[in-house]
Amino acid sequence: LSTREPCAEPFAEVSTMADPSIDYQIESEKVQDFLKNFVSEYDDNSTEKYMDMLQEIANRSRRVLDVELDDVISHFANDELATEIRKNTRRYQTIFSEAADAVMPQSTGVFMDDDVVDVLMRQREAQLEEAERAALAAGQPAPPDPAHVLPPSLTRRYEVRFAAPVKENVVKLREVKAQHIGQMVVMKAIVTRVQDVRPMMQVAVYTCEECGFEIYQDVTSSTFSPMEQCPGNRCKMNARPGQLFLQTRGSKFMKYQEVKVQELAEEVPVGSIPRMLSVQMKGELTRTVAPGDMVDITGIFLPIQYTGFRAMKAGLVANVYLEALGVKQHKQKYAEQVHSDELKQQIREWAQDGDIYSKLARSLAPEIFGHEDIKKAIILLLIGGVSRTLADGMKLRGDMHLCLMGDPGVAKSQLLKYVTKLAPRAVYTTGRGSSGVGLTASVMRDPVTSDMVLEGGALVLADMGVCCIDEFDKMEESDRTAIHEVMEQQT
């Protein structure tokens, strides 16, 4: 008899295969109708929302076509198309891109500088005219060579992103399972590591040494095999396929950034460790998050595709990642907050109140009775002072530190957790479980480049914010001295 325990949960069936009952040609026509005729019910001017976006894209003043699924639901009076988009997001990104190309208006702007696509198009047109003249001179016009056709991804100057409905359920990182592969999910997490932005090849362009034409290769994964022999008709007729040379100047690259996210501390079950997930940011989404940000990430849950020996080594087990479509910050930064005229007027009225200091203190953690002097000190810490830079370059910090001491059960930890929720940027940690390396930085190996990189600890994540360290007296003396320089110089 086998002593192995049965699986706690059976394998979930993945419903990401294309539905044979769906005619994608009809779907493309529906998408074109949506892009041309959708008018927002909240728009007073009653203009076509997405045609205005496409006009901005044609004028090269916009790079992203943001499609809101709420608009799709309201336009078709049902959520069938929106449901299919959520189930098969990658396929519908291609459908929306092709539909946008079909209904793209003419540009109304004047461009002084040429980009790579303009240079390639002019060169391509010159080569086509030369080939047509040579064919006419020979008396046998040649059909167009499919190997020389410009791919749409090369000439496309925009990217399509879907925005989840406003009432979409936000799932925990631990709740994303196998049945979500290929689908659009919205998850809540905290950013722990952000890598540098690197160029990622999207279309590889080669030049043949024999026929002189360009050959294009779409790159759809993180790795690809470069082409070596020309597949053009001219080289096939000569039975001498020419050697291809990669043209870096003519290839198309996009911005790429990998981000590590971790589930929130309050969502981790008892006795478990926090789970982490890799998120790929591409295009205009790069540089939108920083370590320590609490975010809602909308993306496509996908498996990592290995090739060659790595695929044989991985076997049937696949690592997963999230291809980001949108990021929503939980807390606005001070610089991003917009104050209305009513709020500004109310602040001016409060400034005339002589008891505003006490009122602010009583409004901090109102469920905790008393401790008004302590709350006043926390208010001063949150507001901060004025940092000064002297003539010789010396910097004097304007922020203060606060040490809460008291008997057990007098709400010290509750005040710390309330500050973590209130401050736009704050991190809560405990001194017992944090070492000096865990508070400042730790050395990790980058899975992409295999280089040794620094991963920020609690103090790095709370940069330009508040770091709340509970049980400070339980820390080791060596760990406590490691953060003295940070507390004094804030570097």
Least confidently predicted of 22-26, 57-61, 97-101, 300-304:
22-26
Is pLDDT above 60 for 407? yes
Interatomic CA distance for residues 175 and 301, integer angstroms:
12
Average pLDDT on 57-78 reads: 88
For the record, the structure tokens of 235 come out as 């080289």
Binning pLDDT at 50, 70 and 90, where does residue 322 land?
A: very high
Q: What is the pLDDT of residue 167?
A: 84
Interatomic CA distance for residues 324 and 301, integer angstroms:
9
Question: What digits encode the pLDDT tens for the residues 347-397?
Answer: 888 888 878 888 888 888 888 888 888 898 999 888 888 888 888 888 888
pLDDT exceeding 90 applies to what percent of the chain? 12
Q: Model's pTM, two decimal places?
A: 0.73
Average pLDDT on 455-474 reads: 79
Q: How far apart are the first and last CA of the chain?
A: 62
Is pLDDT above 80 for 260? yes
Is pLDDT above 80 for 404? yes
Least confidently predicted of 29-43, 245-259, 428-442:
428-442
295 closest CA partner among 374, 372, 188: 188
CB 429 within 8 A of CB 467: yes
Interatomic CA distance for residues 214 and 231, integer angstroms:
11
Sign of CA dihedral 455, 456, 458, 462: negative
Interatomic CA distance for residues 202 and 251, integer angstroms:
8
Is pLDDT above 70 for 2? no
Question: What digits encode the pLDDT tens for the residues 340-357?
Answer: 888 888 888 888 887 888
Q: What is the pLDDT of residue 96?
A: 93
Binning pLDDT at 50, 70 and 90, where does residue 6 land?
A: very low
The overall average pLDDT reported for the chain is 80
Binning pLDDT at 50, 70 and 90, where does residue 147 land?
A: low
Distance of CA 412 to the CA centre of its chain: 36
Residues pairing with 469 in the sheet: 429
Is pLDDT above 90 for 300? yes
Is pLDDT above 60 for 289? yes
Least confidently predicted of 144-153, 253-262, 299-308:
144-153
Interatomic CA distance for residues 69 and 161, integer angstroms:
10
Question: Rounded to a whole number, what is the largest CA-CA distance in the chain?
Answer: 99
Average pLDDT on 401-415 reads: 88
196 Cβ contact partners less than 8 Å away, ≥ 6 residues apart? 257
Helix 89-102 vs helix 80-87: angle between axes, to the nearest 10 degrees?
A: 120
Q: What is the pLDDT of residue 100?
A: 92
Interatomic CA distance for residues 231 and 235, integer angstroms:
7
Average pLDDT on 62-72 reads: 91
